[in-house]
Structure 1
């Protein structure tokens, strides 16, 4: 009954909505996480469950009768902490659909007395009197979606944060394209070499400024993926982060980092994270141990 009332109000007020599910545990849509294991975030997310159900909401993003990705949403900041998805190929056309909201994040009475009480809405991005405005920056980018329906599903405001336009369309976009190209060429299902597969987490570090006096503007953006590289026959991860600020042309290059470096960065800037299971931590190949018989005699002389 609650969902029916909220949806009815949203339709009257002209808010497009996505039929997602706010869930008690990410086990409902665990397929978007490697080994079905979501990240652990101190005081936020542990063992697939929110550590504060009033603030941190787990969303299984459902669109056209299927789960498409997952998001952890901070209703106090009105931005997602991360979105998780599987890269299985890409669709090159940009969808032309309205931005959607999540009806289950709204107050129980469904009155919408304060539209978007617990989430960002489209009007938060209107009437900006600055040259390099803030725009809706995807966490799960539509350019990483495998087909048209998956690309459409990314157009929910629970999958976006305010990003500087020159940053979102500049260095961050170039990085997303480079990551997509690498995953497309190298990442495969370990059990099926013909199937493209990578697990991706993209998130935001909350900042100290607000858009429209309501929506937190992240200080930094970050992303990391892990996959089985069929060329090296090993699991591999790559991580990136950058400051959410205006850029000049030519745009700076976002440097590749390790998963360990990203976790250290997030621990200092936000909270301690464990992002993936142990396969994804790039471990140097084991060094072969030689006996004295294998080593030339002149190397044994002290």
Structure 2
């Protein structure tokens, strides 16, 4: 199940991220902030090398077209008669990030958590991207994505992940793209069909430290940040008050 509507912004778009005729993960996107609220996916790391980092945009956010698959800006402009103004009206474009010196393009659903070239490539859509502190991106967040996730999911049959961003008060690109104040991630691990353990983590969008915690604590922190009610990220069967079931 997806998170409840507490995280949902007013100008939201649900995107099934489609690339090369296949769906790879799901994103709740904030058209006004031009960043994703969260991306949800299965944790399936594999040995396939990271592909070239193309940056895609989402035609489904552009009015008056029937395109259902992410595409590069120049293809839409050259082949579909879509203008850059139509594209950037409700989503970020590559130009927004090119002059953001202190911010990296952080993927909420990262390529390293997917197996297969198509799934990895799909993560490089800008609707899966937030401005992430460049030091956090290469230090603590990288450690969480690569080391801690691998450790915690080692005994899991299936691991479901939701990674999100809390909107902040600052922007890049002349107030076009919001800089999140916090970036968070949660996972629910199944042994067969039984939820066995769950965990979460939340970082300030600086090069900050954070400790992995139980799912319930992360949900409480997000509930406080959003102040719209209680956040529920996963089904109630996922353990809340400790990482592993007793």
TM-score by structure 2 length?
A: 0.83
Whether the 8 Å CA contact 2:27–2:36 is kept in 1: the answer is: yes
- Offset of 1:63 from its aligned partner? 1.2
Q: CA deviation at 1:162?
A: 0.3
**Mapped partners of 1:154, 1:117: distance in 2:** 21
Aligned to 2:199: 238
Q: Distance in 1 between matches of 2:109 and 2:36?
A: 11
**TM-score of the aligned structures, taking structure 1 as reference length:** 0.68
Whether the 8 Å CA contact 1:172–1:254 is kept in 2: the answer is no
CA distance in 2, matches of 1:253, 1:151: 27
8 Å CA contact retained: 2:35, 2:130: yes
Partner of 2:4: 40
Pick aligned residue for 1:88 from 32, 41, 44: 44
Q: Is the 8 A contact 1:219 1:244 kept in 2?
A: yes
SS at the partner of 2:143? Answer: helix
Offset from partner CA, 1:86-124 (integer Å, 9 cap, x none) = 113323522114200001212448554354110011110
Pick 1 or 2: higher relative contact order, CA cutoff 8 A, min separation 6.
2
Residue 162 (structure 2) aligned to one of 201, 219, 228 = 201
In structure 1, C-alpha distance between the alignment counterparts of 2:152 and 2:122, rounded to whole Å: 21
Structure 1's unaligned 5+ residue stretches are 1-36, 45-50, 189-196, 287-302
Q: Who is 1:75 aligned against?
A: 31
* Counterpart selection for 1:185 from 130, 151, 154: 154
Show structure 2 runs of 5+ residues with no match.
66-81
CA distance in 2, matches of 1:92, 1:182: 20
Q: Cα RMSD over matched residues?
A: 2.3
For 1:191-235, what per-residue CA distance to the aligned partner results, in whole angstroms no more than 9, with x for missing partners? Answer: xxxxxx2100000000000011200000000001001247xx861
CA distance in 2, matches of 1:123, 1:85: 27
Output the CA distance in 2 between the equivalents of 1:59 and 1:114.
18
Say if 1:92 and 1:143, in contact at 8 Å, map to a contact too.
Answer: no
Deviates more, 1:145-154 or 1:156-165: 145-154
**CA distance in 1: counterparts of 2:85 and 2:107, whole angstroms:** 27
Aligned to 1:279, the other structure's residue is in SS state coil
What is the correspondence of 1:203-218 to structure 2 with a 5 Å cutoff? Answer: 203-212=164-173, 213-218=175-180
Distance 1:135 1:43, change over 3 A: closer
Q: Cα deviation per residue 1:237-286 (whole Å; 9 max; x = unaligned)?
A: 010010001x3xxxx64201111111111111124321111121246767
Distance 1:152 1:58 in 2: 20
Question: 1:124/1:216 Cα in 2 relative to 1: closer, same or farther (>3 Å)?
Answer: same
